[in-house]
Chains A and B, each alone.
Chain A
Amino acid sequence: MKGKLIDLVLVLGGLLMIAPLVWLVVTALSEPIDAFQLPPRWIPRPPTLENFQQVPDLIPFARMAWNSLQIAVITTAGALLTSALAAYAFNRLRFPGRDHIFSVLLAALVVPVQLTVVPIFIMMRWLNLVDTTVAIWLPALVNVFGIFFLRQYIASIPRELDEAAIMDGAGHFWILFRVILPLARPGLTALGIFVFEASWNNFFWPYIFLSSPEKMTLPVGLVALQGAMGGGPAVVLFAAITLVVLPILVLFLIFQRSFIASIASTGLRA
């Protein structure tokens, strides 16, 4: 009885959590006249895609989606690569200064991006890279947390495996890519999901560096759309937000386990 009551409270709370999202989707599917009526209509009648068709008239949505995707893919692939190389060296290879260099990298985890953004902006301006996607992904190619995380992961892989490969005359590249990384796949996946998600959703950095609509990522584009609309139809904005949120929901429902494992194992908050 008591258990049932707790379940009921949790489910009601859950419904309250998703209510704004349901309202978002229902409004996006409503005729402009029906939208934003009070009491709110929780079922659109009849659902229409009209608002979605108007999104490209107001912002270059496809272009922005492409920018977001491009930046997220380059950032994820690049950060995984630089982190895996460094993590392998820090765990498996011996060279002078190794532990000192690693400590310095680790200490830099406390440096917030909001501190480095001002000097990096000046640097990018000097390089003529402000308002380009390069300014977004280039600084994100080094991920100190990723190095730390993968180093821990690689440390848990038995050394006998690479020692056997060394006996066979294998080089370190071969060992890393053929022996270590295949075994580190769960760690790479967790880190990859985390880096991709953080890049895809990032607002702070692109908001500062990107100003032309055709260079913007989706989060910045949405905010620009809202600012530029003035008295324009809010339903179109709702349609655009839905287009951003829905794919993540679908991906999440498919890969829920990996997503949650990624958060629980990396312990990181975007």
Chain B
Amino acid sequence: MTAVAERARVQQATAKQRRDWLPGYLFISPAVLLFLVFVALPLVAAFGLSLFHWDLLSTPEFAGLDNFRRLVTDGDTIRAVVNTFVFAISSVVTHIGLGMVLALGVHRTMTRGTKYFVRTAYFFPFLISWAAVALIWKYVLDPAFGLANYYLSSTTNWLASPTWALPTLIVVDWWHTIGYTFIILLAGLQTVPAQLHEAARVDGANAWWRFWSVTLPVMSPTIFFATVITFIGAFQIFDPMVIMTQGGPDGATRSIVMYTYEKGFQSFEVGYAAALSLVLFVVIMVVTGLQFRLSRRWVHQ
């Protein structure tokens, strides 16, 4: 090929490529514009707001790092951070543990009808709005006429007890979202090749050993994914607190988001609310970062 022909070919190629530029930018522009206005700008603004004292009405007053200093000394914040971690970690343990048991149970051979019922019964609550879930459970847990105390022969006022309120919300959250974990884990379980089990069986491995040496390693990416998603979801918990306990009794169920809401939209300390929401952001970022790093090292690919 001559040099002239070669150059002509290159020019043609770039011209062809350039034809994509305009439609490219055009096609991404709605998403990118909305992204700039409703994600990027608010993110920057949240950092900015956290450096001010502002009640939404008077002129914002520059506060430097006051709001962050307050974060580490405010007992209510520390309590909310602890509550949120307790909630999220308990949520992960109960969701993954019992979700795995459920998935293994349903994955066995079962009659069609049984399988359909069990899958539907555990999954359906996940589709109901937190608002409805929280209201139903508020009545189920009512100390006077609720189902829970009648069948448990108890007189505990679950949501008003400083000891029981947070564990109770963990149980309600489990009821609401176990269907999600269950479906994800079941989908993962279905990817475990039957031949591997067969081979292990031929080698004389019992059920437990097959679970440890075949099922768990093959499922590790799914379990890892479900763990991270459950943790992040639980870490942002807000709805049941605001509907069932208002963060009470005495802050026992106040989560980080609940406290951010109180500061931002009830007492109108917007700067402090922004600083609180940054705590949430940092934790989620760290957990996601860990996911990236650890999944490369631990997870079977």
Contact = CB atoms under 8 A, between A and B. Distances in A.
Contacts of A208: 261, 265
Main secondary structure of the interface of A (DSSP, over half): helix
B154 interface: no
Contact of B20 (A9, A94, A105): A94
Given A21-B136, A249-B124, A11 B180 contact: no
A219 B45 contact: no
Contacts of A220: 131
B129 A7 contact: no
A179 interface: no
Interface string A199-231: 011111001100000000011101100100000
B30 A263 contact: no
Contacts of B2: none
A78 to B, nearest CB: 9
A17 B117 CA distance: 11
A33 interface: no
A238 to B, nearest CB: 8
B124 A252 contact: yes
Nearest to B240: A203
B183 to A, nearest CB: 5
A104 B177 CA distance: 30
Interface string B90-127: 00000000000010011011100010011111111111
B105 A10 contact: yes
B149 to A, nearest CB: 9
B35 interface: yes
Interface in B141-166: 145, 147, 150
Contacts of B56: 122, 125
Interface string A244-258: 110011001100100
B95 to A, nearest CB: 10
A47 B129 CA distance: 26
Given A123-B42, A263-B180, A112 B23 contact: no
Interface string A1-24: 001001101110111011111011
A83 B32 CA distance: 10
Interface in B258-301: 260-261, 264-265, 270, 273-274, 277-278, 280-281, 284-285, 288
B109 A3 contact: yes
Interface residues of B, number: 88
A19 B110 CA distance: 23
A88 B27 CA distance: 8
A175 to B, nearest CB: 10
Given A6-B108, A89-B28, A219-B129, A39 B150 contact: yes
A81 B27 CA distance: 10
Contacts, number: 248
B176 to A, nearest CB: 10
A241 interface: yes
Residue from B102, B131, B145, B278 having most chain A Cβ neighbours under 10 A: B131
A118 B274 contact: yes
Contacts of B28: 85-86, 89-90, 101
B127 A252 contact: yes
B129 A118 contact: no
A115 B145 contact: no
Contacts of B68: none
Interface stretch (B3-11, B69-77, B198-206, B231-239): B231-239
B40 A108 contact: yes
B187 interface: yes
Contacts of A103: none
A260 interface: yes
Contact of B229 (A176, A238, A269): A269
Given A18-B121, A108-B35, A111-B281, A219 B23 contact: no
Given A96-B21, A223-B243, 10 more contacts: A17-B175, A86-B32, A89-B24, A115-B42, A116-B38, A119-B42, A147-B31, A207-B242, A226-B135, A252-B127
